[in-house]
Amino acid sequence: MRLFLFIFKRDMLLAIRRRRELANPLVFFIMVVSMFPLGVTPDHAFLAELSAGVIWVTALLAALISMDSMFRSDYGDGSLEQLLLMPGSKVVLISAKIAAHWVSIGLPLVIIAPLMSFLLFLPPQALPSLIITLLISTPILSLLGAVGVALTLSLRGGGVLSSLLTLPFYVPVLIFSTMAINAAAVNQPVSGYYALLAAFLIVSILLVPFAVVAALRVSYN
Amino acid sequence: MSKYKKSNSLQSTALQCERGGRVLFDNLTFELHAGEALLVQGANGSGKTSLLRIITGLTTAIEGDVLWNGRPITADEQAYQRELLFIGHQSAIKQELSVRENLRLHYALNGCGADSMVELAEKVGLRQRLGVICSRLSAGQQRRVALARLFLSEQPLWVLDEPLTALDVDFIAAIEACLQAHLANGGMLILTTHRGLDLGTATIRNLDLNESAKK
């Protein structure tokens, strides 16, 4: 637990120092979503129909472009190897890094999403499900992204490859999340979708740190 | 006076290392005991860094094992990592953080250290710069921040990859004194350097990678 807090605090401090990198995904998210009414149509009904998908796809891509920051700079300056040489559980170490990444990238997206939903006229009854799906699923995005980044660390231009590796695993999350929001918009039950997403989250939390540790070993060999 | 266990030893069984399809070394063995230094020499690209990374356990050799006190280091990784201090040629300094914050990370990494932060900064000559962000420091000063870990270390085995790059004469003398004290305490030292280094009266073993390279 001490190790977890130490790494978490360290990564949060670094995230705060790199404000520009922190703002990047958020600015991307706001810009893309606000372009839609301008570029497609300002028609309320049409935008309302699109809104769940647009918000989700944009949030997903915003998370994806920020994945690299999780390990790449620590790998580049040699601090990742120092962290791996620390006595202590590597799984805890990795979990702390992923948690810090989610708090600094995923959580701001969740917070800003309700505001963005007004731009796209998301039906008000669907708003809670937008927030809940984002809350459950953005950690999944950070977790799965970590595996892709860890696997491609030692490659030049690994960023593109890691996106390609990760994207297929994001698709189910995207499908179930938008289905939940659309169901909520027409007042249908949504708890089934939540349960599926939560199950996905739990499985990722349990398995991903081990996969990342193994992937890092591959990258260092 | 010996601070560390006299029985500590590090050995290897015929190590083989390959990089990019080329065999860097084969059948490489070494042995190191408490109070001794191992000087790894070789031309650029002869595998010095690869060897050090194998010794730290970051990379695994294609063949052969590194043995700490007779047991493979992979058998109890955490126990071995408690005994090991590794400083690579990348300084592992976070550019965005101040000297003070970086030193604080050192304390956390080492888990110990008797000196206070100010004393430590004094030793590496950065007392006036504690609040400065590391990206504003010169290469030599950044190296000093990285090497501050040596003054905190309570680990018997030090593995240093080119520790002296970018340092000025005064600080090299300070590092030499620190290494000598470490060896006199019964510590062990493995390092690569292209520069002569005065290690005092300690036993120095040489390992030349040019000789063991496979033609």
Q: Where are the domains of chain B?
A: 9-89+139-212
* Number of neighbouring beta carbons within 10 Å of residue B111: 14
- Measure in Å the smallest separation between the Cα of A34 and chain B Cα atoms: 32
| Cβ contacts of A177-182, under 8 Å, gap ≥ 24 | A177/A56, A177/A133, A177/A134, A177/A137, A178/A52, A178/A53, A178/A56, A180/A129, A180/A132, A180/A133, A181/A52, A181/A56, A181/A122, A181/A126, A181/A129, A181/A130, A181/A133, A182/A52, A182/A126
DSSP A189: -
Cross-strand partners of B121: none
Give contacts of B89 with chain A, Cβ < 8 Å.
78
The CA distance from A97 to A95, in Å, is: 5
Is the torsion defined by CA of B198, B204, B210, B211 positive or negative? positive
The CA distance from A66 to A193, in Å, is: 26
ipTM reported for the complex, 2 dp: 0.88
User: Which of A21, A69, A81 has the most B C-beta neighbours within 10 Å, making it the best mutation to test the interface with B?
Assistant: A81
| Residue among B84, B93, B94 whose CB faces A14 most closely | B94
Domains of chain A: total:
1
The CA distance from A111 to B154, in Å, is: 45
Q: CB neighbours of A204 closer than 8 A, spacing ≥ 6?
A: A139, A140, A143, A144
- Measure in Å the smallest separation between the Cα of B200 and chain A Cα atoms: 29
- Taking domain B9-89+139-212, whether its CATH number is 3.40.50.300 is answered by yes
> Could you report the per-residue pLDDT of A100-119, keeping only the tens digit for each?
999 999 999 999 999 999 99
Closest residue on chain B to A88 (Cα): B78
> Could you report the per-residue pLDDT of B109-158, keeping only the tens digit for each?
776 655 688 888 888 888 888 889 999 999 889 999 999 988 888 889 99
User: Which of B17, B18, B81 has the most A C-beta neighbours within 10 Å, making it the best mutation to test the interface with A?
Assistant: B81
> Are B81 and A78 inside 8 Å of each other by CB?
no
> Are B84 and A85 inside 8 Å of each other by CB?
yes
Question: Does the CB of A221 have a partner CB in chain B at under 8 Å?
Answer: yes
> Could you report the per-residue pLDDT of B2-58, keeping only the tens digit for each?
778 888 889 888 888 888 788 888 888 899 999 999 999 888 888 888 899 999 998
Q: What strands, in cross-sheet order, belong to the sheet with B9-12?
A: B31-33, B9-12, B66-68, B71-72
Closest residue on chain B to A218 (Cα): B59
What residues make up the domain containing A63? 2-220
Residues B29 and B13 sit within 8 Å (Cβ to Cβ)? yes
Cross-strand partners of B12: B66
Say how many CB pairs under 8 Å bridge A and B. 54
> Could you report the per-residue pLDDT of B67-120, keeping only the tens digit for each?
999 899 988 888 898 899 999 888 888 888 999 899 888 887 776 655 688 888
- Ordered per-residue pLDDT tens for chain A, 221 residues: 888 999 999 999 999 998 888 899 999 999 999 998 999 888 989 999 899 999 999 999 999 988 888 888 899 888 999 999 988 899 999 999 999 999 999 999 999 999 999 999 999 999 999 999 999 999 999 999 999 999 998 888 777 888 899 999 999 999 999 999 999 999 999 999 999 999 999 999 999 999 999 999 988 88
Is the torsion defined by CA of B63, B64, B68, B72 positive or negative? positive
Question: Does the CB of A155 have a partner CB in chain B at under 8 Å?
Answer: no
